[in-house]
Amino acid sequence: MTRQTVSGAMKRRYLKQHLFFGAVRLSAIILTLALGGILFYILVNGIQVISWEFLTSPPTDSMTKGGIMPAILGTLYLTLGAITVALPLGVVAAIYLTEYAKQGKIVRAIRVGVNCLAGVPSVVFGLFGLGFFVVFLKFGSSILAGALTLGIVILPTIIGASEEALKGVPQTFREASLALGVSKWLTIWKIVLPNALPGILTGSILGIGRAAGETAPIMFTAAAFFTAKLPGSIFDEVMALPYHVYVLATAGTHIEQTRPIQYGTVLVLVALVLGIDLIAIVIRSYMRRNKRW
Amino acid sequence: MTRHQKEIIIKNVFFILSLVSILVLGLIVVFLFREGLPVFREVSLRDFIFGMEWYPTYSPPSYGIWPLIVGSLIVTIFSSLIAVPLGVLSAVYISEIAPPAIKEILKSIIELLAGLPSVVLGFFGMVIVAPWLQETFDLPTGLNIINASVILAVMAVPTISSISEDALYAVPNEFKEASYALGATKFETIARIIVPAALSGISTAVILGMARAIGETMVVLMVAGGAAAIPESIFDSVRPMPASIAAEMGEAPFRSGHYHALFATGIVLFLMTLAFNLVADYISQKFKEVGSATL
């Protein structure tokens, strides 16, 4: 083989590499542009509508004017309810799976169950909430039914994140504690959990973000088209931001007329959800930098 | 109570509480069937699944969900055609090529993309993508298969990308080193060594991404157009199963044939996504990367 053909072959190999790297970088650019484009567009169109009054007053004139305060409040209630249900259950399940369970059929079954639950379509959660909480348990369409349904939706997220956090605590921490004669439960409570807390927190915050943005699970279980007054108890229906967007954009008789309100609501929803996600991302990167082990 | 008894009690309580996920999964099945099965008093299973006509409010009604199933499958397949290359390539970029700073930024971007509420993406598809499609291609409506597929792809990419990235990251370093030592270029190492070694994880990622697309509700509800007919081109409207359930449940009279038919559609949708998830789980267990010894 002459030198000429060798370098020719090398050139071809590197040409392929260049093409491939180009495609790979292009994919990254497309994703960045997709997120940037969507956010920019929503921001530009929504920002003009946002005012103190928009955020703090109820809709008026059959929802063609006024603000979105009841929807903001409703989303807060539903989200807080969901995390109250999912956080304790999720953390306890994660503790059992990482600290107590011996690898075997039951643990495997629990893991498959969690994975499958994570994959259930959101509208099926809605159907389940309707069939179980609303109809069978007679909660009616209410904050309670919606919060429980959303809690189930985010349960797998919380379990997954808590498990990761618990696994991240070094085994030596547990061994040191057990060697001092501390019981297993006290070791978990005083040593493992505090060290896993930031990770669990991050996971729960991401769960909250997810719950705040979900629409389909609350459509048949909690969300009201319009409520004249604010909810008085957990058995009342509420308005919610995601459902409000859907209703105004598709079902209203004044779809074009309410466009500004739609943009404003979308902006508030996106700011809320991505704001929550950003908090989680910042906590996590801070944690990684200041890791003590 | 002795210390030992206390420990045992705590362990058992935790065990029972950790069964909640399975319990809920069981309850989902029970209540879907409880509310869905009565429809088969009015229509046979065969006519329900393969029936070509979905006219639930006519009298007599006809409950054939084949057009809805086809709608779901079509938007899932087309969105995968977009999301799989984007997701896998971005994962390769993040795990193998990108400098650390860009890597961190890109991971955050993908996470934020995953965090965008589906109703927001649906809204974006309705007010931006749809009018643009309608004008550019001179269509009767911009709410169609191609629009829904593009928006669904945006939702599926983060799933595919992050799970693929984990799989690529788990490939042992010795593999790369051995490949470089033989004189392979970086591209050759990625294409012939790293990606094949991570293939089971990448397959899992693709399946879970597709499961996400097939079950996604708000996007197809808002941008797929809603026509319950077998489409003839990618510019036709469809009515995927989740869209049909979400749109009609509000109007269907309680425990009417229509109501039961929507729950039965939920059963079909649930079983399809369950199958996707079980396959993904099987692949990731069967081909688990335990280290270099497995290859």
pLDDT at site B213: 93
Whether pLDDT at A195 is above 50: yes
Residue B205 lies in a domain: yes
Closest to A249 measured CA to CA, from A235, A227, A269: A269
Which residue is closest to B84 within chain A, CA to CA? Answer: A27
- Cβ–Cβ under 8 Å, residues A152 and A86: yes
Rounded CA-CA distance B189/B191 in Å is 6
Residue A74 C-alpha from the chain's centroid: 17
Taken in order B59, B64, B67, B72, the sign of the CA dihedral is positive
C-beta atoms of A24 and B92 within 8 A: yes
Contacts of B278 in chain A (CB under 8 A): 112, 116
Q: How many domains does chain B have?
A: 1
Rounded CA-CA distance B77/B83 in Å is 10
Alpha helices (runs of H) in chain A, residue ranges in sequence order: 3-46, 52-56, 69-95, 105-119, 122-129, 143-167, 171-179, 184-187, 193-213, 216-219, 241-246, 259-289
How large is the C-alpha radius of gyration of chain B? 23
Both tokens assigned to B214: 């097939």
Query: How far does B218 lie from chain A, in Å, by closest CA?
Result: 7
**pLDDT tens digits for A101-137?**
887 888 888 988 998 999 999 999 999 999 999 999 9
Chain A to chain B Cβ contacts (< 8 Å): 260
Best of A128, A150, A184, A279 to disrupt the B interface (most B CBs within 10 Å) is A128
pLDDT at site A252: 66
| Domain A52-160+203-289 is found in CATH 2.170.120 | no
Residue B29 lies in a domain: no
Residue B73 lies in a domain: yes
Query: How far does B109 lie from chain A, in Å, by closest CA?
Result: 7
Taken in order A247, A248, A251, A252, the sign of the CA dihedral is positive
pLDDT at site B293: 45
Domain of B63?
Answer: 34-294
C-beta atoms of B124 and A212 within 8 A: no
Contacts of A145 in chain B (CB under 8 A): none
The amino acid at B45: L
> CB of B166 within 8 Å of any CB in chain A?
no
Please state whether the peptide bond connecting residue B131 to the residue before it is cis, i.e. omega within 30 degrees of 0: no
**pLDDT tens digits for A16-63?**
899 999 999 999 999 999 999 999 999 999 999 888 888 888 887 777
Rounded CA-CA distance A34/A108 in Å is 38
The amino acid at B191: A
Q: HSE-up of A97 (CA within 13 Å, CB side)?
A: 31
Residue B202 lies in a domain: yes
pLDDT category of residue A292 using cuts at 50, 70 and 90: low
Residue B169, domain CATH = 1.10.3720.10
- Say which residues have a Cβ less than 8 Å from residue A6's Cβ, sequence separation at least 6: none
Query: How far does A11 lie from chain B, in Å, by closest CA?
Result: 11
- Say which residues have a Cβ less than 8 Å from residue B85's Cβ, sequence separation at least 6: A27
The pLDDT tens digits along chain B (295 residues) read 788 888 899 989 999 999 999 999 999 999 999 999 999 999 999 999 999 999 998 888 999 999 999 999 999 999 999 999 999 999 999 999 999 999 989 999 999 999 999 999 999 999 999 999 999 999 988 999 999 999 999 999 999 999 999 999 989 999 999 999 999 999 999 999 999 999 999 999 999 999 999 999 999 999 998 888 899 988 999 999 999 999 999 888 999 999 999 999 999 999 999 999 999 989 888 876 555 544 4
Residue B273 lies in a domain: yes
